[in-house]
Each structure stands twice: as structure tokens, then as C-alpha cells.
Amino acid sequence: MAYEQNRPHLPAETKRLIMTEAGHRCSVQHCNEHIVEVHHIDENRENNAPANLIVLCDKHHKLAHQGVISRMDQRKYKELLTQPAVATTNTRSDHDRKLLQQINDIFPFETIQMIKSESFGKFVKREVIDPFFELLHYASDPLFRFTDQNLEFLKQDAIRKAELFNRHFSQQSGGLISGYDYIDLNEIRRRNPNADIEYWVQYSYETARLAQDFCTTMLLLRAELANQ
């Protein structure tokens, strides 16, 4: 690849510093992949300042270049590397434990799996969508906030992604008693044989992508229940 061929030399001492900082594994929280590479946060390969470098696995490296993991997120992940871990079994507050359980009650594993398998076609069950509304309702409560900064960062990321999903889904959905009327390709073809079906196929795909992105963060947050 031309990108790799034109990559400027990264000083060995700088690379050693960044790798040591990350423990020779991906800097994204809860990713324990040890096959990693150094990524330039601002994507300027001439800027080898340690503050601009982060260690990522191949998957998260690609997501960073695609903008799925924002530069702000990358800097936050890097910042967390240098902060002492305080959320242990003995130090996690009762408030944080209760809040984790509350989020788990809204999005149990079965619900997350159901969301991940949803195609977002003609009809979408309420069980898939309503938990998003419930989470966003609690998000406005000032007490719906973790004292542990790592947990709060994950929660805020989940809320941001829930808002993106909800905004996108709501633009094309219609309420039904048992669920939500969504994109019906056959009905679109029936009403307008010349309709641009590919646009609606991509719209459904984007809805599913946003849902998957949310689920990825929510699974990371739910994994913290193991530290109770």
C-alpha cells in the first residue's frame, strides 16, 4: 500500500515509549489484542510527538481511520492509560454498582443480541427500540452518572451512540401498537416502480450499523458487571 510505503520513520525510542505506555497491547479499553501498531491521532505521519501517538490493533486502527473511533475518543483512551485503576471490587461505590445494574436491566444481554440481529426492514418490534428511549430518558437525570471516570466515559459514549441511532431511526419510522413501521422495499416499489431502491437499502444498512456500534459500547459497559 502507498500509505505504508510513504510512512516516515518513527524513531525507535519514541515507539518504545508509546508501546510501553500501552503495555504492548491495544489502547482501546477492554481490547486485549497484542498484535498492534502505532497510529497518528491527527493522521499527520510527520507528527511523531508522543501525545499524537496511540497503540491500536488492526481492527481499531481501521475504525480510527474510518472515523468510527473519533480523535477525541482516541485521546481519551490514551489519557486513561496513564490514570490509576480505581474501579476494583473493593473500591467501586454502591452508587456505581446500582447504576451498572440499572443499565443491565434496560439492556440485558438478550436484548442486545436481538438488536444486533435486527435487519431494520418492514417491521421493527418495540422490544428492539423502546430500551433506547428508556436509556435516553434516564440520561437527563443528574444522578444517572458514574463516580468512576472510566465507567462514565463508556456511559457517555453509549448515550451519544443511542442518540445517533434514535435520530436516524425516528426519521423513517411510524408507530404501531406492537412495534414500528419501517422501510418496506416492496411497498416502495409498488408505489413507485422507478424509485431509487438502493437509497433505502443503504438507509436500512446505516440504521443497522448505528445499532451495532451502540451494542459494541454497551457490551463493554455491561462487562464491568463482572467486576462487581
Question: 2 or 212, which is more confident?
Answer: 212
Euclidean distance between CA atoms 215 and 104, whole angstroms: 12
Q: Give the CA dihedral 63, 132, 184, 175, nearest 10 degrees.
A: -160
Of all residues in the chain, the percent with pLDDT exceeding 70 is 92
Rounded to an integer, the average pLDDT of 121-149 is: 94
The gap from C-alpha 50 to its chain's centroid, in whole angstroms, comes to 25
Q: How high is the pLDDT of residue 228?
A: 57
Q: How high is the pLDDT of residue 92?
A: 76
Any idea what DSSP says for residue 51? G
List the one residue out of 174, 162, 180, 177 whose CA is nearest residue 125. Answer: 180
Euclidean distance between CA atoms 98 and 228, whole angstroms: 10
Euclidean distance between CA atoms 215 and 122, whole angstroms: 22
Q: Residues 151-164: pLDDT tens digits?
A: 999 999 999 999 99
The residues, ordered by sequence, that sit 6+ positions from 56 with a Cβ below 8 Å of its Cβ are 26, 27, 28, 36, 37, 39, 64
For the cut 90, the answer to whether the pLDDT of residue 102 exceeds it is: yes
Q: Residues 29-76: pLDDT tens digits?
A: 888 888 999 999 999 999 999 899 999 999 999 999 999 899 999 998
Rounded to an integer, the average pLDDT of 202-214 is: 95
For the cut 60, the answer to whether the pLDDT of residue 85 exceeds it is: no
Q: Residues 163-177: pLDDT tens digits?
A: 999 999 999 999 898
Q: How high is the pLDDT of residue 88?
A: 44
| pTM of full prediction above 0.75 | no
Q: How high is the pLDDT of residue 13?
A: 87
